[in-house]
Amino acid sequence: MKLYGSITSPFVRRIRFICSEMGIPFTLVDTMTEAGQKELRDKNPLWKVPYVEIDDVKIWDSHTIIDYLFETKGSGNFRPKSGPHHYREANLQTAIDQALDNAILIFYLNKEGIKPDAAPYLTKNALRISSILNYIKQELNGNFFFTDGKVGLSEIALYTTLDWIRFRSVLPVEEDPIFAGFLNFHGQNKSWKETAPK
Protein backbone atom coordinates (compact mmCIF):
# COMPACT_ATOMS: atom_id res chain seq x y z
CA MET A 1 0.00 0.00 0.00
CA LYS A 2 1.27 3.43 -0.96
CA LEU A 3 -0.03 6.22 1.30
CA TYR A 4 0.33 9.84 0.24
CA GLY A 5 0.28 12.44 2.97
CA SER A 6 2.17 14.24 5.70
CA ILE A 7 2.90 13.21 9.27
CA THR A 8 1.12 16.33 10.53
CA SER A 9 -2.21 15.65 8.76
CA PRO A 10 -4.84 14.36 11.21
CA PHE A 11 -6.72 12.62 8.39
CA VAL A 12 -3.56 10.81 7.27
CA ARG A 13 -2.78 9.98 10.88
CA ARG A 14 -6.05 8.02 11.16
CA ILE A 15 -4.85 5.73 8.38
CA ARG A 16 -1.36 5.44 9.85
CA PHE A 17 -2.80 4.57 13.28
CA ILE A 18 -5.10 1.86 11.92
CA CYS A 19 -2.29 0.37 9.82
CA SER A 20 0.00 0.36 12.85
CA GLU A 21 -2.59 -1.32 15.07
CA MET A 22 -3.53 -3.93 12.46
CA GLY A 23 -0.04 -4.62 11.15
CA ILE A 24 -0.79 -3.39 7.63
CA PRO A 25 2.45 -2.40 5.87
CA PHE A 26 2.55 0.77 3.81
CA THR A 27 4.99 3.15 2.20
CA LEU A 28 4.47 6.84 3.02
CA VAL A 29 4.98 9.34 0.21
CA ASP A 30 5.67 12.64 1.98
CA THR A 31 3.56 15.25 0.22
CA MET A 32 5.36 18.03 2.06
CA THR A 33 8.28 17.49 -0.31
CA GLU A 34 8.27 18.93 -3.82
CA ALA A 35 8.53 15.47 -5.41
CA GLY A 36 5.75 14.04 -3.22
CA GLN A 37 3.44 16.98 -3.92
CA LYS A 38 4.03 16.69 -7.66
CA GLU A 39 3.28 12.96 -7.61
CA LEU A 40 0.09 13.57 -5.60
CA ARG A 41 -1.13 16.27 -8.01
CA ASP A 42 -0.36 14.11 -11.02
CA LYS A 43 -2.47 11.26 -9.62
CA ASN A 44 -5.21 12.89 -7.53
CA PRO A 45 -7.45 15.63 -8.97
CA LEU A 46 -8.44 16.74 -5.45
CA TRP A 47 -4.80 17.49 -4.49
CA LYS A 48 -5.75 16.34 -1.00
CA VAL A 49 -4.45 13.77 1.44
CA PRO A 50 -4.73 11.01 2.38
CA TYR A 51 -4.58 9.29 -0.96
CA VAL A 52 -3.75 5.58 -1.29
CA GLU A 53 -2.85 3.17 -4.00
CA ILE A 54 -3.45 -0.49 -3.17
CA ASP A 55 -2.63 -2.60 -6.21
CA ASP A 56 -5.04 -1.25 -8.85
CA VAL A 57 -7.31 0.48 -6.29
CA LYS A 58 -6.92 4.24 -5.86
CA ILE A 59 -8.79 6.00 -3.03
CA TRP A 60 -8.64 9.66 -2.01
CA ASP A 61 -10.86 9.97 1.06
CA SER A 62 -9.97 8.86 4.59
CA HIS A 63 -13.40 7.37 5.30
CA THR A 64 -13.36 5.34 2.10
CA ILE A 65 -9.79 4.20 2.74
CA ILE A 66 -10.80 2.95 6.19
CA ASP A 67 -13.88 1.25 4.72
CA TYR A 68 -11.63 -0.54 2.23
CA LEU A 69 -9.16 -1.63 4.91
CA PHE A 70 -11.92 -2.96 7.18
CA GLU A 71 -13.62 -4.77 4.28
CA THR A 72 -10.40 -6.39 3.06
CA LYS A 73 -8.47 -6.87 6.33
CA GLY A 74 -11.24 -7.05 8.94
CA SER A 75 -11.67 -4.62 11.81
CA GLY A 76 -9.16 -6.25 14.15
CA ASN A 77 -9.71 -5.12 17.74
CA PHE A 78 -11.58 -2.00 16.62
CA ARG A 79 -15.32 -1.60 17.02
CA PRO A 80 -16.77 -2.83 13.70
CA LYS A 81 -18.63 -0.37 11.51
CA SER A 82 -21.81 -2.46 11.38
CA GLY A 83 -24.25 -2.88 14.22
CA PRO A 84 -26.85 -0.86 16.13
CA HIS A 85 -24.28 1.83 16.95
CA HIS A 86 -23.46 2.55 13.30
CA TYR A 87 -25.60 5.64 12.70
CA ARG A 88 -24.75 7.26 16.02
CA GLU A 89 -21.07 6.70 15.32
CA ALA A 90 -21.47 8.12 11.80
CA ASN A 91 -23.07 11.26 13.30
CA LEU A 92 -20.23 11.59 15.78
CA GLN A 93 -17.65 11.29 13.00
CA THR A 94 -19.46 13.88 10.90
CA ALA A 95 -19.55 16.32 13.81
CA ILE A 96 -15.89 15.75 14.70
CA ASP A 97 -14.80 16.11 11.06
CA GLN A 98 -16.73 19.39 10.80
CA ALA A 99 -14.96 20.73 13.89
CA LEU A 100 -11.62 19.64 12.44
CA ASP A 101 -12.29 21.21 9.03
CA ASN A 102 -13.23 24.49 10.71
CA ALA A 103 -10.16 24.36 12.97
CA ILE A 104 -7.91 23.78 9.93
CA LEU A 105 -9.50 26.77 8.21
CA ILE A 106 -8.92 28.97 11.26
CA PHE A 107 -5.31 27.77 11.53
CA TYR A 108 -4.46 28.61 7.92
CA LEU A 109 -6.29 31.93 7.91
CA ASN A 110 -4.54 32.88 11.14
CA LYS A 111 -1.20 32.19 9.42
CA GLU A 112 -2.27 34.75 6.82
CA GLY A 113 -3.14 37.25 9.57
CA ILE A 114 -6.92 36.82 9.17
CA LYS A 115 -8.73 36.49 12.50
CA PRO A 116 -12.05 34.65 13.07
CA ASP A 117 -13.85 37.99 13.65
CA ALA A 118 -12.78 39.32 10.22
CA ALA A 119 -16.08 38.23 8.64
CA PRO A 120 -19.42 36.85 9.88
CA TYR A 121 -18.76 33.55 8.08
CA LEU A 122 -15.49 33.06 9.95
CA THR A 123 -17.09 34.00 13.26
CA LYS A 124 -19.80 31.41 12.61
CA ASN A 125 -17.12 28.79 11.89
CA ALA A 126 -15.38 29.50 15.21
CA LEU A 127 -18.69 29.30 17.09
CA ARG A 128 -19.53 26.04 15.30
CA ILE A 129 -16.35 24.45 16.68
CA SER A 130 -17.39 25.36 20.24
CA SER A 131 -20.89 24.00 19.66
CA ILE A 132 -19.55 20.70 18.33
CA LEU A 133 -16.98 20.27 21.09
CA ASN A 134 -19.65 20.88 23.74
CA TYR A 135 -21.84 18.25 22.08
CA ILE A 136 -18.94 15.78 21.94
CA LYS A 137 -18.23 16.22 25.66
CA GLN A 138 -21.85 15.34 26.43
CA GLU A 139 -21.65 12.24 24.24
CA LEU A 140 -18.46 10.82 25.75
CA ASN A 141 -18.80 8.08 28.36
CA GLY A 142 -15.47 8.58 30.09
CA ASN A 143 -12.88 7.73 27.45
CA PHE A 144 -15.26 6.12 24.94
CA PHE A 145 -18.48 6.95 23.13
CA PHE A 146 -20.00 3.51 23.66
CA THR A 147 -20.20 1.19 26.65
CA ASP A 148 -18.31 -1.61 24.88
CA GLY A 149 -14.97 -0.02 25.88
CA LYS A 150 -13.62 -0.47 22.35
CA VAL A 151 -11.88 2.07 20.19
CA GLY A 152 -13.95 2.78 17.13
CA LEU A 153 -13.88 5.28 14.30
CA SER A 154 -15.43 7.99 16.47
CA GLU A 155 -12.67 7.70 19.10
CA ILE A 156 -10.01 7.68 16.37
CA ALA A 157 -11.56 10.79 14.79
CA LEU A 158 -11.75 12.59 18.13
CA TYR A 159 -8.20 11.74 19.17
CA THR A 160 -6.67 12.92 15.88
CA THR A 161 -8.78 16.08 15.97
CA LEU A 162 -8.01 17.06 19.56
CA ASP A 163 -4.33 16.21 19.24
CA TRP A 164 -4.02 18.25 16.02
CA ILE A 165 -5.85 21.22 17.61
CA ARG A 166 -3.47 20.97 20.55
CA PHE A 167 -0.40 20.54 18.30
CA ARG A 168 -1.32 23.60 16.20
CA SER A 169 -2.43 25.65 19.24
CA VAL A 170 -5.78 26.46 17.61
CA LEU A 171 -7.75 26.06 20.86
CA PRO A 172 -6.63 25.18 24.41
CA VAL A 173 -8.42 21.80 24.40
CA GLU A 174 -5.91 20.37 26.87
CA GLU A 175 -7.27 22.80 29.48
CA ASP A 176 -10.66 21.08 29.39
CA PRO A 177 -10.59 18.23 31.96
CA ILE A 178 -12.79 15.93 29.83
CA PHE A 179 -10.65 16.33 26.72
CA ALA A 180 -7.40 16.25 28.72
CA GLY A 181 -8.50 12.97 30.29
CA PHE A 182 -9.42 11.53 26.89
CA LEU A 183 -6.08 12.56 25.35
CA ASN A 184 -4.06 11.25 28.31
CA PHE A 185 -5.91 7.92 28.38
CA HIS A 186 -5.63 7.12 24.68
CA GLY A 187 -2.24 8.81 24.29
CA GLN A 188 -0.58 5.95 26.20
CA ASN A 189 -1.16 3.72 23.17
CA LYS A 190 2.10 2.92 21.36
CA SER A 191 0.60 3.56 17.91
CA TRP A 192 -0.61 7.03 18.91
CA LYS A 193 2.87 7.84 20.19
CA GLU A 194 4.50 6.56 17.00
CA THR A 195 2.15 8.52 14.72
CA ALA A 196 2.32 11.80 16.67
CA PRO A 197 2.77 14.94 14.54
CA LYS A 198 6.20 16.57 14.71
Q: Residue 31 sits in which domain range?
A: 2-73
Task: Give pairs for 186-191: CB < 8 Å, separation 24+.
Answer: 186/143, 186/151, 186/155, 186/159, 187/159, 187/163, 190/20, 191/17, 191/20, 191/21
- The answer to whether residues 28 and 68 belong to one domain is yes
CA distances from 48 to 116, 149, 176 (A): 24, 33, 31
Residues in Cβ contact with 96 at an 8 Å cutoff, skipping those fewer than 6 apart = 132, 136, 154, 157, 158, 161
Residue 13 inside a domain? The answer is yes
The confidence score (pLDDT) of residue 39 equals 97
The confidence score (pLDDT) of residue 116 equals 85
- The answer to whether residues 87 and 115 belong to one domain is yes
Residue 196 inside a domain? The answer is no
Q: How far apart are CA 100 and CA 77, in angstroms?
A: 25
The confidence score (pLDDT) of residue 82 equals 86
pTM value is 0.96
41-85 confidence digits (pLDDT tens): 999 999 999 999 999 999 999 999 999 999 999 999 999 988 889
- The answer to whether residues 122 and 58 belong to one domain is no
Give pLDDT < 70 ranges for the chain.
Answer: none
Supply the CATH number for residue 62's domain.
3.40.30.10
- The answer to whether residues 64 and 132 belong to one domain is no
Supply the CATH number for residue 137's domain.
1.20.1050.10
- The answer to whether residues 152 and 176 belong to one domain is yes
Sign for the CA dihedral angle at 192, 195, 197, 198 comes to positive
Report the side by side order of strands in the sheet with 51-54: 27-30, 2-5, 51-54, 57-59
Kind plus residue range of the DSSP H or E element containing 7: none
The number of distinct structural domains making up the chain is 2
- The answer to whether residues 22 and 42 belong to one domain is yes
- The answer to whether residues 126 and 186 belong to one domain is yes
Residues in Cβ contact with 150 at an 8 Å cutoff, skipping those fewer than 6 apart = 77, 78, 79, 144
The confidence score (pLDDT) of residue 85 equals 92
